[in-house]
């Protein structure tokens, strides 16, 4: 029952796409509708054609799915930050699990065991966020939020249910603060992070701040007990104002310090579960030697070093390498060493490292995967390799290399719901020989 009414469309949603948008057809046209569920009869309005598909906004629902729930955020229909809030949480998990199973099937990987699904809190989990900010003359105020879905505009947000409660208490006070400064029309971005004790803010500004601006920022720090950092250029320009407190988090009995602009996992509970799964699957003994590629500040390396003979962490970012070495010292892990190397170069420069000395490996690459790296390595000595992925598509490509070139077999797979209310998730794939 799909037909056109006065430049809008009545569509019956047939299924969900890989990005969880409702899919429908009308004549020879294909439609993608955010927020629609299979079986629903909906009225939509198109706003963009991308390739052969019309992207459409949901106007109203004439026949509603029995599984639909009310979104818990009033900005859900506009904001691009979340895209699954209209689904029950169990439905979200099944969607992600089926997505992962389909990718494994499409890649023709030999794994038919059950995939373990790891979940924690559905909301209030996010410890770090980067938000857009802008002075809007028509509204005569600064707006803050994620981008609107399908546009470059900023969602004028007053709440965000996925942010940790400590961030929610601070974030929506920031527009009023920035409005009082001389850079209200030159502050395009703000980052917020909490270690669940304190909150740190990084204010991106395109014009110099005045002494009066700094006074107001410091007063805000004191009133709300937060730390503020300034950024007038790239990441290297981040600098604190006033006294700041060292941030840290605990995982697997280790205390790891970090900076407000460090990469950390945004979901602390899932990160704890993830590290513990890696420890269990590694099953380390005092003679095991481990390499941690893309080690960051030591999220896996430091806990692993508590059980292994030695751990070598390799990371491109100099600041993260420095933090990792400091974290090793602070946790009395003298058997953990961290070095800098660009693992995306065609010549990664690891000739000085004897890979045959290491019998267990962990990879935790960015979304682009690790194909360049694993294609160069000699992994004959590594009986176990654990791949932690934030992009299951690139994981599948890399898994093929590990299986075909090095003879690994997949022994276990875990899906970790690091980002509830979104389509994103983490995957742990365990390879053994």
Residue 250 neighbours by CB distance under 10 Å: 12
Q: Which of 73, 82, 390, 404 is catalytic?
A: 390
**Could you tell me which of 328, 290, 330, 332 has the C-alpha nearest to residue 311?**
290
**Could you tell me which of 227, 231, 263 has the C-alpha nearest to residue 246?**
227
- Vertex 167 angle, CA 79 and 68, to 5°: 40
Report d(CA 263, CA 256) in Å as an integer: 12
**Could you tell me which of 101, 177, 63 has the C-alpha nearest to residue 410?**
101
| Token digits of residue 95 | 């969607």
Strands 199-204 and 247-251: unpaired
**Residue whose entry in the numeric block shows the structure tokens 């992962």:** 100
**Residue whose entry in the numeric block shows the structure tokens 């806990």:** 303
| Token digits of residue 181 | 């400064």
Is the CA virtual torsion 13, 15, 20, 21 positive or negative? Answer: negative
Strands 8-12 and 239-241: unpaired
CB 279 within 8 A of CB 307: yes
354 is catalytic: no
DSSP 8-class letter at 169: H
Which residues are marked as active site?
390
């Amino acid at each position: 029952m799909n037909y056109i009414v006065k430049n809008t469309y009545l569509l019956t949603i047939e299924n969900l796409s890989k990005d969880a948008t409702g899919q429908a057809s009308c004549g020879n046209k294909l439609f993608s509708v955010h927020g629609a569920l299979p079986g629903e009869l909906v009225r939509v309005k198109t706003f963009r054609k991308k390739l052969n598909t019309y992207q459409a906004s949901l106007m109203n629902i004439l026949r509603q799915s029995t599984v639909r729930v009310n979104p818990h955020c009033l900005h859900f229909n506009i904001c691009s930050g979340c895209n699954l809030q209209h689904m029950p949480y169990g439905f979200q998990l099944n969607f992600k699990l089926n997505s992962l199973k389909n990718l494994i099937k499409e890649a023709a990987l030999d794994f038919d065991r059950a995939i373990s699904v790891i979940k924690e809190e559905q909301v209030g989990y996010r410890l770090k966020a980067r938000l857009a900010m802008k002075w809007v003359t028509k509204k005569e105020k600064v707006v803050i939020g994620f981008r609107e879905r399908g546009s470059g505009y900023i969602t004028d947000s007053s709440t965000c249910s996925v942010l940790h409660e400590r961030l929610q208490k601070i974030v929506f006070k920031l527009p009023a603060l920035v409005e009082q400064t001389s850079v209200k029309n030159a502050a395009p971005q703000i980052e917020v992070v909490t270690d669940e004790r304190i909150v740190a803010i990084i204010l991106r500004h395109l014009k110099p701040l005045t002494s009066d601006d700094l006074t107001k920022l410091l007063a805000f720090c004191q009133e709300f007990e937060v730390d503020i950092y300034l950024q007038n250029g790239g990441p290297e320009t981040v600098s604190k104002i006033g006294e700041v407190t060292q941030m840290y988090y605990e995982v697997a009995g280790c205390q790891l310090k970090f900076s407000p602009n460090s990469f950390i996992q945004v979901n602390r509970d899932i990160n704890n579960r993830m590290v513990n799964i890696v420890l269990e699957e590694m099953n380390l003994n005092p003679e095991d030697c481990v390499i941690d590629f893309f080690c960051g500040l030591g999220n896996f390396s430091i806990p692993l070093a508590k059980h292994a003979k030695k751990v070598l962490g390799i990371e491109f970012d100099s600041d993260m390498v420095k933090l990792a070495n400091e974290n090793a010292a602070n946790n009395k892990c003298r058997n953990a060493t961290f070095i800098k190397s660009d693992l995306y170069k065609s010549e990664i420069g690891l000739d000085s490292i004897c890979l045959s000395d290491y019998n267990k490996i962990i990879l935790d690459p960015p979304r682009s995967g690790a194909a360049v790296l694993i294609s160069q390595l000699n992994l004959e000595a590594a009986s176990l390799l654990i791949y932690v992925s934030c992009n299951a598509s690139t994981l599948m490509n890399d898994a093929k290399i590990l299986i075909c070139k090095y003879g690994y077999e997949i022994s276990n797979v875990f899906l970790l719901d690091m980002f509830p209310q979104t389509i994103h998730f983490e995957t742990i794939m365990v390879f053994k020989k």
